[in-house]
């Protein structure tokens, strides 16, 4: 299967701990996106990369959040000092630059106790 993959699929952590999620996009896709989805809502845009450059960050991405895509392939999203309000599904998507269609991974469900 050559779709978008995300790890881990589930993460339970205690408030104040740091967590890191990984996303592996479709191999030829040069854009990678992160979204957050809370229960009963649609996904909300967090940030995106074109190759290794982070080109846009939403105001939802507080300074406790950091994302990287060091070699223009996989990406990591780190949340420091987690809060209960960070509990959500974190979705990764990828696309080609010239095509608006984004392909989504299965998501990482974060629960902060």
- List contacts with another protein (CB under 8 A): 4, 31, 33, 35, 40-45, 48, 55-56, 91, 93, 100-107
Beta carbon of residue 27, minimum distance to another protein (angstroms, whole number): 18
Q: 3-state class of 84 per DSSP?
A: helix
For residue 27 the two structure tokens come to 């191999």
Closer of 19 and 107 to another protein (Cβ): 107
Least gap, CB of 40 to another protein (angstroms):
7
**Least distance in angstroms from the C-beta of 25 to another protein:** 13
Cis peptide before 8 (omega within 30 of 0): yes
Q: Is 63 left (phi over 0), alpha (psi -120 to 50) or beta?
A: alpha
């Amino acid at each position: 299967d050559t779709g978008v993959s995300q790890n881990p699929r589930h993460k339970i952590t205690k408030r104040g701990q740091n967590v890191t999620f990984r996303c592996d996009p479709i191999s030829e896709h040069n854009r990678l996106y992160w979204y957050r989805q809370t229960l009963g809502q649609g996904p909300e845009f967090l940030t995106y990369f074109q190759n290794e450059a982070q080109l846009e960050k939403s105001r939802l991405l507080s300074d406790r959040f950091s994302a990287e895509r060091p070699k223009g392939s996989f990406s990591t999203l780190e949340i420091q000092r987690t809060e209960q309000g960070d509990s959500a599904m974190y979705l990764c998507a990828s696309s080609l630059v010239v095509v608006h269609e984004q392909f989504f991974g299965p998501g990482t469900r974060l629960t902060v106790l």
